[in-house]
A and B are shown apart, each in its own frame.
Chain A
């Protein structure tokens, strides 16, 4: 069957399914690949029917939600159909008294957050671009944000799921109760699988009460080592900030809006988001201010009024219009090694340039944001960085890049016996390579 007939064929095979092709498929490319058709299913049955259709014909399918993380990972080896899940957007069951919610995977994170907030609750994840990002996409990409410091990541909050495997089999894992050890925890496999094992259609989460009070503290430092030492001491203390971010020169200076964020152009800014009861927030702010001051902070400021704006920018950095980056590299090392990773990233920049750096202190994640010029010809530099970071057990992920660069470097850069096992996992769940083949392993 020629691909030009694919949309018509798909529509003939599945008359009720919404299929778009031609100019309607604009904006649906994945890492520069243009699909022949887009399917917009209304429910899991349609997803299953579509995957069976694709499997029988040897087609490759990429599932997508809001598209905020669609560029992450290697370009799929093949792409025929894009499965747009945004019509699966219902909240199926919210049990406020049990602190659980079950939703369809295509609901945006923002819409869900709004509905939950009416009950004083939240799904304690803060992925980038929440207004567009869908719940299924957040799970598939294992997206997280600054608040992982306090609440963890998707694997700590997802308690059940329904998904459709590559062969169209509908599968449930976990359940609707917060504690459950029945069966293998396939939820964990789906999180961070980038849609390569199954298409998530429904998810059940454990919820968290909204903090009664929120606050923001910033502390500016002349050098990274001092700022980082303060951050590490916070992670070892009984204080439990929501977020603990260390913004490097390229970001710290730009965080200062009209009210200013207490930073000068060349320094490091420790941004600490606080949450809890008013008394807890006050006490935490007090202790942290003292810790920062004794740790050599040039200036410590309470910036509660700026909290929302500053945290949104840190969450979305490199991905929103005001600070879009051509390339995002994410280094993962032990929390104590973050300064070494930050230095290595800075040194990898071409003459005269340097990436904007953001350290997620508790998890040892160092994000670096590169402009067009620096992003060109990164191949050798990525390889060098991987050697440097690999020597301390770290990894480097190309989180966002141009299709041209992704064609020359592996987005993940991991090796080891576990990678062989991951390939076997992919092979048993998707032997025909229907779901975004090559995107992950």
Chain B
């Protein structure tokens, strides 16, 4: 691995200009973190402003044997944006322009550093929106979303990031700029865009993204159903999914979460409830009216003690408040959290949730569940205090057991947070050595080697270093999302 020399620093400065790179330890410190409990310190942080600069930096890094790690807003939950092996960290914060909005052909071309929500806000005047809505959408970037194939509450009906990316401009390890996909048109040949989305920054650096825009729905209605038992709530989820209604979002919030959010956010969730479901239906007026009837009926049949609903934006946002602010609110309960991301078939939810709670009880840990129930995407959130001796180890051990439960239930080790550093060793639970080798061949085709985000997303090899883990476990509070 190469080292940082004054010559390299000045070469980088010539590319990006003074003020767009950091190498002093006190400056690097703030780039050590993302949303996980892992840390990694880059050797140098460089902020490019154009594809030409990205290409020049990548070529220079290649020459010096330094890895390049792209970074969006650092909201990631698997360590994807951490320079765990040192090298050049490349935040895309300066490349945040909306380059083109084409409402007729329903796409937009944006730079990777653009904040997700800013895109939807910018195209709203055309009556359109960008569908994937990670809970961190006020902060996370489109480039980061592409790297992680991010999801979000509304991905149940509309699909995740990969379903909405129509083309990419990427810089390969040798500095070559490649445009993939048809950018609003069909393009024959291998789907390089599709295979790049979700590659966690390991194949190249994204410098432009062409995304699909959708027309805003005519009507939206949000329901909050309150349950006295977790089993009833999860049975309701399974019933709604199985009924043929495809809600825009179907989220579950359990008692621990309610207890945490209600005192601070005052969202109107009853403190004695065991679970609440948030169901959002959208579409034409008629469609929403019909879905509303079915959803209400299913909730009541499954023992909901109360079903509230709202159609006005403000009132809907009030119902969503506890969901969106959950992680931040956990700070009032415990100083630290460890957020998991597993997927199971929705029909397995009742059994799996029970096991999650059993595991955490056995490890003497508090767990809050707030998650995308409709697609079976669990986010058990373990609340703890890192200052208690052995707590972090117990948390990680419980987390591993929970992941096993998801895999045993026919699911996966990540629905939307990515593998990153956190789960790279779990990959062999669901993939054979042959499967993993087949994936590695793609790195070869892209000429990526270990040039980009090394030692991520796959089981580690000999060259990978130890990841710093704790004692600075991620603290909860404002700016934390799931």
Across the interface, do B186 and A364 meet the contact criterion of CB distance under 8 Å?
A: yes
Q: Which of B1-9, B103-111, B254-262, B331-339 contacts A (4 or more CB under 8 A)?
A: B103-111
A188-B162, A280-B286 are known contacts; what are 18 more A-B pairs with Cβ within 8 Å?
A98-B347, A98-B376, A100-B345, A120-B244, A152-B159, A177-B343, A177-B415, A180-B412, A183-B431, A183-B457, A188-B194, A277-B290, A334-B102, A335-B105, A365-B186, A395-B188, A418-B180, A440-B189
Subset of 30 A-B contacts with CB under 8 Å: A95-B345, A95-B347, A97-B346, A98-B242, A98-B376, A173-B435, A173-B438, A179-B160, A179-B416, A182-B412, A186-B442, A192-B188, A209-B244, A235-B215, A237-B215, A239-B284, A240-B283, A277-B287, A282-B286, A284-B284, A335-B105, A363-B186, A413-B188, A417-B179, A418-B180, A424-B447, A425-B190, A428-B442, A429-B445, A441-B189
- Residue among A95, A172, A183, A394 with max Cβ neighbours from chain B (10 Å): A183
**B155 an interface residue at 8 Å Cβ cutoff?**
yes
Across the interface, do A193 and B218 meet the contact criterion of CB distance under 8 Å?
A: no
Tell me the bound Cα distance from A178 to B375 in angstroms.
Answer: 6
Residues of chain A from 369 to 405 with CB closer than 8 A to chain B in the complex: 393-395, 397
Across the interface, do A97 and B439 meet the contact criterion of CB distance under 8 Å?
A: no
B188 partner residues in chain A, CB cutoff 8 A: 192, 332, 395, 397, 412-414
Q: Which of A107-115, A130-138, A163-171 contacts B (4 or more CB under 8 A)?
A: A163-171
Q: Which of B418, B419, B435 sits near A171, CB closer than 8 Å?
A: B435
Q: Which of A156, A173, A335, A419 sits near B189, CB closer than 8 Å?
A: A419
Across the interface, do A232 and B104 meet the contact criterion of CB distance under 8 Å?
A: yes
**Distance (whole angstroms) from the CB of A385 to the closest CB of chain B:** 15
Across the interface, do A184 and B198 meet the contact criterion of CB distance under 8 Å?
A: yes
Residues of A near any B CB (own CB < 8 A): 95-100, 120, 152, 155-156, 165, 169-173, 175-189, 191-193, 197, 208-210, 212, 232, 235-240, 276-277, 279-280, 282-284, 332-336, 363-365, 393-395, 397, 412-414, 416-419, 421-422, 424-429, 440-441
3 smallest CB-CB distances across A and B, nearest first, come from: A188-B194, A209-B244, A332-B186
**Distance (whole angstroms) from the CB of A399 to the closest CB of chain B:** 10
A-contact bits for B158-171, CB 8 A (1 contact / 0 none): 01101100000000
**B55 an interface residue at 8 Å Cβ cutoff?**
no
Q: Which of A97, A175, A179, A238 sits near B242, CB closer than 8 Å?
A: A97
Across the interface, do B186 and A98 meet the contact criterion of CB distance under 8 Å?
A: no
Q: Which of B102, B241, B289, B414 sits near A97, CB closer than 8 Å?
A: B241
A418 partner residues in chain B, CB cutoff 8 A: 178-181, 187, 189, 192
Across the interface, do A422 and B246 meet the contact criterion of CB distance under 8 Å?
A: no
Q: Which of B199, B217, B286 sits near A184, CB closer than 8 Å?
A: B199
Across the interface, do A179 and B375 meet the contact criterion of CB distance under 8 Å?
A: yes
Tell me the bound Cα distance from A277 to B290 in angstroms.
Answer: 8
Tell me the bound Cα distance from A42 to B438 in angstroms.
Answer: 24
Across the interface, do B244 and A177 meet the contact criterion of CB distance under 8 Å?
A: no
**Distance (whole angstroms) from the CB of B36 to the closest CB of chain A:** 15
**B95 an interface residue at 8 Å Cβ cutoff?**
no
A191 partner residues in chain B, CB cutoff 8 A: 191, 194
**Distance (whole angstroms) from the CB of A246 to the closest CB of chain B:** 16
**B247 an interface residue at 8 Å Cβ cutoff?**
no
**Distance (whole angstroms) from the CB of A170 to the closest CB of chain B:** 6
**B467 an interface residue at 8 Å Cβ cutoff?**
no
B190 partner residues in chain A, CB cutoff 8 A: 189, 192-193, 197, 422, 425-426, 440-441
**Distance (whole angstroms) from the CB of B105 to the closest CB of chain A:** 5
**B238 an interface residue at 8 Å Cβ cutoff?**
yes
Task: Return the chain A residue nearest B239 by Cβ.
Answer: A97
Across the interface, do B191 and A155 meet the contact criterion of CB distance under 8 Å?
A: yes
Across the interface, do B187 and A425 meet the contact criterion of CB distance under 8 Å?
A: no
Across the interface, do B438 and A171 meet the contact criterion of CB distance under 8 Å?
A: yes
Q: Which of B106, B246, B417 sits near A236, CB closer than 8 Å?
A: B106
Across the interface, do B191 and A156 meet the contact criterion of CB distance under 8 Å?
A: no
A422 partner residues in chain B, CB cutoff 8 A: 189-190, 192
- State whether A184 and B434 are in contact (beta carbons under 8 Å apart), knowing that A336-B104, A418-B189 are contacts in the complex: no
Across the interface, do B445 and A427 meet the contact criterion of CB distance under 8 Å?
A: yes
Across the interface, do A235 and B106 meet the contact criterion of CB distance under 8 Å?
A: yes
Q: Which of B183, B194, B447 sits near A185, CB closer than 8 Å?
A: B194
Task: Return the chain A residue nearest B429 by Cβ.
Answer: A182
Q: Which of A181, A336, A363 sits near B418, CB closer than 8 Å?
A: A181
Across the interface, do A186 and B438 meet the contact criterion of CB distance under 8 Å?
A: yes
- State whether A176 and B151 are in contact (beta carbons under 8 Å apart), knowing that A183-B427, A236-B104 are contacts in the complex: no
